[in-house]
Amino acid sequence: MVKGLPSIDQPDQLYEACLVEKQHRHSFPKESTSRAKVSLELIHTDVCGPIDLVSLGKNRYFLMFIDDYSRKTWVYFLKQKSEVEEEPIEPVTPLSPVSPTQSSPSSSSVDSPVKAGPQCTRSLKEIYDNLNHNQGMFCLFADTEPIDFDEASRSEKWRKAMNKEIGAIKKNDTWELTTFQLDKKLIGVKWVYKVKKNSKGEVKRYKARLVVKGYKQRAGIDYDEVFAPVARLETIRLLISLAALNKWKIHQIDVKLAFLNGFLDEEVYIEQPKGYVVRGHEDKVLRLKKAMYGLKQAPRAWNSRIDKYFQEKGFKK
């Protein structure tokens, strides 16, 4: 095909190592198969450091424990790393629990440090169970997201977040209460919790989102077309470059609960969300008028509505 190159015979044997190197790697599992089912069934721990914080004085290392089930975290600050490697752990005076809004931990008067030894050691379960009664044992308590509704419902801040989400859904007229038809498929819902933080790492707000278990939808029954165009990063860079070159103005907006604005063409029925079942109508279900997060056709429904709106206002792609 190229003039000047000698003719090369096709080898009979392929180089297997080359083929193996070009094969796609197996994807990581989306969810660990070894997650704990109850508290303290699985504990992750590690010694971290060294760190250089004025408030910690000579304590340059810390020993961290994380409960796999609840994701609760507590830390012991250590004077030397050798306390873990060579000798029984002798934690220094613990710090009081740190609020997520604090930029750095600060010392407070707590119980005197206990000397290490068999007669004074405490099990992780004992420390874990005494969390609400003796938080002085915890140097740092991480404010993590709840893993289910039962855990979130025990916290006022998460209850407020869930009430806000349900209020927004009802205000948007997303669903209607109706009697379930036996020839239809009922799809479940679940709560997803997330702590939103600002650039400083401080808690900005607590976000609870009700999502549909879209993986239970059936093609041709619960949804048809699902494709929706998505802006590539290269396109956005090109747009910004053109704006800078021509001195154009760029306006950016963020639509809250965007997917809830898309209308549905299919009949989709979902369960009443846990904690918000209408009294006296426990046997009824919700028929979706508009899309919700988790539905396979939600991106397409939202794109169709916003695209139609822009064209009606005279915009061109």
Instruction: Give the mean pLDDT of 114-136.
Output: 49
pTM of the model: 0.53
* Residue 36, pLDDT above cutoff 90: no
* Residue 155, pLDDT above cutoff 50: yes
Closest by CA to 207, choosing from 187, 193, 228, is 193
Report pLDDT for 82. Answer: 54
Instruction: Give the mean pLDDT of 68-88.
Output: 64
> DSSP secondary-structure letter at 272?
P
As beta bridge partners, residue 186 has 269
Choose between 17 and 298: higher pLDDT: 298
For 160: left if phi > 0, alpha if psi spans -120 to 50, otherwise beta; the answer is alpha
* Distances, alpha carbon 144 to alpha carbons 72, 151, 195, 202, in Å: 7, 11, 7, 13
Contact status, residue 140 vs residue 55, Cβ threshold 8 Å: no
What is the Cα–Cα distance from 75 to 61, expressed in whole angstroms?
10
For 63, the enclosing helix (H) or strand (E) is strand 61-67
Local confidence band at 127 (pLDDT 50, 70, 90 cut-offs)? low
Q: Give 178-235 pLDDT, tens digit per residue.
A: 998 877 788 899 999 998 888 877 888 899 999 998 887 777 776 777 888 888 899 9
Torsion of CA 62, 67, 68, 72, to 10 degrees: -90
Report pLDDT for 87. Answer: 42
Report pLDDT for 166. Answer: 93
Backbone phi and psi for residue 137, each to the nearest 5 degrees, phi listed first: -70, -15
What is the Cα–Cα distance from 98 to 118, expressed in whole angstroms?
29
* Distances, alpha carbon 114 to alpha carbons 14, 88, 90, 129, in Å: 67, 12, 7, 19
What is the Cα–Cα distance from 218 to 215, expressed in whole angstroms?
8
Q: Give 165-193 pLDDT, tens digit per residue.
A: 999 899 988 999 999 887 778 889 999 99
Backbone phi and psi for residue 85, each to the nearest 5 degrees, phi listed first: -80, -35
Q: Give 253-298 pLDDT, tens digit per residue.
A: 888 778 888 888 888 899 999 889 998 898 899 999 998 988 888 8
What is the Cα–Cα distance from 97 to 110, expressed in whole angstroms?
11
Closest by CA to 130, choosing from 44, 47, 72, is 72
How is residue 23 written in tokens? Answer: 């094969």
* Residue 95, pLDDT above cutoff 50: no
